[in-house]
Structures are given as C-alpha cells and as structure tokens.
C-alpha cells in the first residue's frame, strides 16, 4: 500500500503505522464502494475550503487557484468516466486527495489543512441531502398535482366512505382524494423542516475540537449555501439527528403512499371494481391470461418496510455512541442513499399511476352508494331536525335497518306508510334527504364532503399548487 496520501509505507495513514491493513480488513473498512456517491459534494466542499484558506492567508492565492483547477479536473474526469478510485483509496475523500496530489504534487497536500474527514464527511452528506430534499419536494408536489387533477375530474362523483372497512357514509370522491393532498402537504412541510436543520455547516470543526489554523468557518458556510454553522465542534462532527429526522419524514411519506396504494388495490379488485388500471401501469400473470395485477401500488406498499427499517437502523446506530466521531457513522450513508432512492421512486411511480394509470368508474361508484345503508345516519339527522332527541332517533333508525335487513330491502325501498309506522314525523321529503347525492350535498360543515365545501377546497388547492 505504499504511496498513500502522506507518502508513508502504510498508505493512507501517517508514519505512525509500519504495515498496511490485512486485505480482508481493508475491504471491511472501505466505504469507497458507496460513498463515491458524494463525489460532487466533496469537490464542492473542497473548492470552498481551498478558497477560504487563501482568503485567510493560510495558503497563497496561486496555490488555491491550482487546487481549485485540480479539483475541477477531477470533476471532468469523473464525468468522462476516467476517475475510478479503488479499494486502496478507502473513501471518496482520500480518493480525491490522492488524485489531487498526483495532479499537482506538493501543492495538493495543502488542501486538507484545517479540516478532518470528520467534518468533511458531515459537510458532504449535508450538501448531498439538501439537494435531494429539494428534489423530493418537487416529486411530492407532482404527486399532489396528479391527485388534484383527479379530484377536479371527479368533483361530482360519489364513492362509499368507510370506517373499519365497513360502509359508513357516501362521500364526494374529490373529497377523498384531497385528503391525500392534505397528507402530502404535511410531508412537504416536514421535509422543509428537516432541510432547515440539514442546512448547518460542520466544516472547520475538524476532528472534534476545532483547529489552531486561522480559518473562517462562516466563509465556507456562505460559499456552500449553508444558513449557519455548528456552534459546538463536538456536536458538529457527531450530529446525525438530521439523518434520523429525514428517515422519519420519509417513513411518513411512505405511510401515506402505502395507504393510498392499499385503497387502489382494493378499488381495482373484481369485488369492488371502482377503478380500471391502464395497461401502462399494470402487469399480467404468467399463467392466467385474464389477470391484470396492480403491481405499482403493491410494490409501494412493500417498499415501506425498507424505509421503516432504515429509520430503525439509524436510531440503533447512534443510540449508544459517545462523543465525538465514531466509525459507526459510516453506516449512515447506504441507509440515506437508499431512503432517498426508494422514497423518490415510489413518489414518481404513484404520480404516474394517478396521472395515467387509474380510471375511475363513476357508474359503478354510483351503484355502490345506492345499494347499502350508508344513508342511515341521515334518517337520524332528519328526525333530529324535527325535534326527536338524537339518541332516540339513533335507536329508531337501528330498528328500521334491522327490519330492512330481514325483508331484504333498502331504506329507499320503504313506502311513506311504512316509515310513518316507525314515527309519525316522517314525510315525503324524507326520500329526497336519503338520495345519496343529497346525503353528500348536505354535509356543508367546514371541512366536510358537501359539494360546496369541496369546490372551495379545489379552488384553494388549485391556487396553492399552481
């Protein structure tokens, strides 16, 4: 392993070491296989650091210029596919520094002045996650817009509303879809909140205690777009709260995706038949030619486990770590990389599903809401409006439903005379009140499913998501 960053016989380490790592331990220790993902952020952070060193008089302006040019050369090499670090480089930071020394000679050895890999990796990771948070926000926004468009298209369509997966009351389909738009808005707020705590610079905290080198941490923070710097160097290099917070926010995104996925699977079943799946968003069976399978929502539902697992893994990783940096932190990257990739892919897939993969069947939905007892509560409301105490009305309607079930009829099948046999206040206007569309229209309380209220919310979301 001769010829490492320092030029010592032990490779990457100082002359404190006489021998290189055992080959198996070298493989076990290395993170280059996955933290090369942070290459662009590592180059950005290193360029800002080099310029700051020159500003503070630690290195000359000419040396800073050479360092920045060398770092940009590595960026170009990476784009061209010719920068291919290997196991001996251990991680992305040493890989960059080693290549820089090869390109520049002794000047390249000055780049690491006043910093450590501990604050360097923390900076890289925050820069990487900050960018991905912005991309995830865009994907959530796209999904919200897809749901909103479906809601606009189905603003007068009814759908059975459920509690305990039992028919409860009919609702406006647009109202049902807008519930997910609301959930996703909270997701966007959480992601933005996480971004605020990600956007704090640890650079310059060095290994754990700061540095005697006369650096300007606020200069690099400003150059890299950070809003603040860590006030405590120990906290700066050991904080992974932001990783856990992001994992938690991502887990809730996946919860919301999975809930809708479960409903789409249910809606697409032959037993339900509320939606048709397009050929572009469904697959078939290798054996049964008639099948059309809801693979997209099933995969989204299944991938929740990966995201939830990463959240638990990150919590477990940091729960017992003493200050400050520990090698355990190497385990945060693969989790974060997969969290972002999985959540992003699922958001895109569900957006496409809503944009072109799901076709609602209004006629089937209309028949569904007209063929159950989900208007029973409206009989109780009818009685209450005519002075009958609610609990008395509740018991009476229960008896009516019981009689209907025994006779195999629905509430709207009863004649006015039969209704009057239960209570004399019933009149012919009851039948209008029990019509599914009127049942929905009557729910005019703020936040309710009444068509007037739904139109208000559609206009609100059209404005917010424009």
Active site residues: 164, 285
Tokens standing for residue 327: 């090698």
Sequence-distant (≥ 6) Cβ neighbours of residue 80 within 8 angstroms: none
Residue 171 to residue 153: CA distance in whole angstroms: 15
- Tell me the longest C-alpha to C-alpha distance in the chain: 101
The DSSP output letter for 322 is P
* 400 and 422 Cβ atoms separated by less than 8 Å: yes
Residues facing residue 283 across a β-bridge: 293
The CA-atom distances, in angstroms, between 327 and each of 19, 27, 302, 313 are 21, 14, 31, 15
Q: What is the DSSP string of 19-81?
A: S---HHHHHHH--HHHHGGGHHHHHHHHHHHHHHHHHTTSS-HHHHHHHHHHHHHHHHHHHHT
Sequence-distant (≥ 6) Cβ neighbours of residue 140 within 8 angstroms: 184, 187, 188, 191, 253, 347
Residue 31 to residue 51: CA distance in whole angstroms: 27
How many CB atoms are closer than 10 A to CB 55?
16
Please report the beta strands in 12-86, taking only residues with DSSP state E, as ranges in sequence order: none
Q: Nearest Cα to 125, choosing from 226, 268, 54, 193?
A: 226
The CA-atom distances, in angstroms, between 372 and each of 36, 125, 213, 411 are 59, 55, 77, 8
* 156 and 360 Cβ atoms separated by less than 8 Å: no
Residue 438 to residue 277: CA distance in whole angstroms: 30
* 191 and 133 Cβ atoms separated by less than 8 Å: yes
Q: State yes or no: cis peptide before 169, omega within 30 of 0.
A: no
The answer to whether the Cα torsion of 372, 393, 172, 350 is positive or negative is: negative
Residue 374 to residue 436: CA distance in whole angstroms: 9
Q: What are φ and ψ of residue 160, in 5° steps?
A: -60, 135
């Amino acid at each position: 392993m001769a010829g490492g960053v320092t030029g010592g016989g032990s490779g990457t380490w100082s002359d404190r070491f006489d021998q290189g790592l055992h080959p198996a331990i070298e493989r076990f220790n290395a993170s280059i296989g996955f933290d090369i993902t942070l290459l662009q952020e590592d180059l950005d952070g290193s360029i800002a650091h080099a310029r700051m060193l020159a500003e503070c008089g630690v290195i000359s302006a000419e040396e800073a210029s050479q360092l920045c040019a060398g770092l940009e050369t590595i960026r170009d090499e990476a784009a061209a596919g010719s920068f291919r670090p290997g196991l001996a480089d251990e991680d992305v930071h040493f890989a960059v520094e080693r290549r820089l020394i090869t390109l520049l000679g002794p000047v390249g050895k000055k780049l690491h002045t006043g910093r450590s890999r501990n604050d360097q990796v923390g900076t890289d990771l925050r820069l990487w996650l900050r960018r991905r948070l912005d991309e995830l926000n865009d994907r959530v926004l796209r999904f919200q817009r897809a749901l909103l468009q479906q809601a606009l298209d189905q603003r007068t369509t009814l759908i059975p509303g459920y509690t305990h997966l039992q028919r409860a009351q009919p609702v406006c389909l647009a109202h049902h879809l807008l519930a997910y738009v609301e959930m996703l808005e909270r997701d966007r707020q959480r992601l933005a909140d996480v971004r605020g705590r990600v956007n704090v610079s640890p650079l310059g905290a060095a290994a754990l205690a700061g540095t005697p080198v006369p650096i300007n941490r606020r200069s690099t923070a400003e150059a890299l777009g950070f809003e603040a710097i860590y006030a405590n160097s120990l906290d700066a290099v050991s904080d992974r709260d932001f990783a856990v917070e992001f994992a938690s926010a991502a887990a809730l995104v996946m919860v919301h995706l999975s809930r809708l996925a479960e409903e789409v699977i249910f809606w697409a079943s032959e037993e339900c038949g509320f939606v048709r799946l397009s050929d572009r968003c469904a697959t078939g069976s290798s054996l049964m030619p008639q099948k059309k399978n809801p693979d997209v929502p099933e995969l989204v539902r299944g991938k929740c486990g990966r995201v939830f697992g990463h959240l638990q893994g990150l919590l477990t990783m940091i729960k017992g770590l003493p200050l400050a940096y520990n090698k355990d932190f190497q385990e945060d990257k693969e989790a974060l990389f997969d969290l972002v990739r999985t959540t992003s892919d699922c958001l895109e897939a569900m957006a496409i599903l809503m944009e072109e993969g799901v076709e609602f069947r209004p006629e089937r939905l209309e028949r569904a809401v007209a063929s159950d007892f989900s208007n029973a509560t409206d009989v109780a409301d009818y009685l209450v409006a005519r002075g009958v105490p609610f609990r008395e009305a509740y018991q009476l309607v229960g008896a009516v439903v019981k009689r209907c079930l025994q006779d195999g009829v629905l509430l709207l099948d009863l004649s006015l005379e039969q209704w009057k046999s239960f209570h004399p206040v019933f009149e012919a206007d009851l039948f209008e009140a029990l019509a599914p569309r009127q049942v929905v229209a009557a729910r005019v309380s703020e936040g309710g499913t009444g068509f007037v209220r739904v139109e208000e919310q559609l206009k609100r979301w059209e404005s917010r998501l424009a």
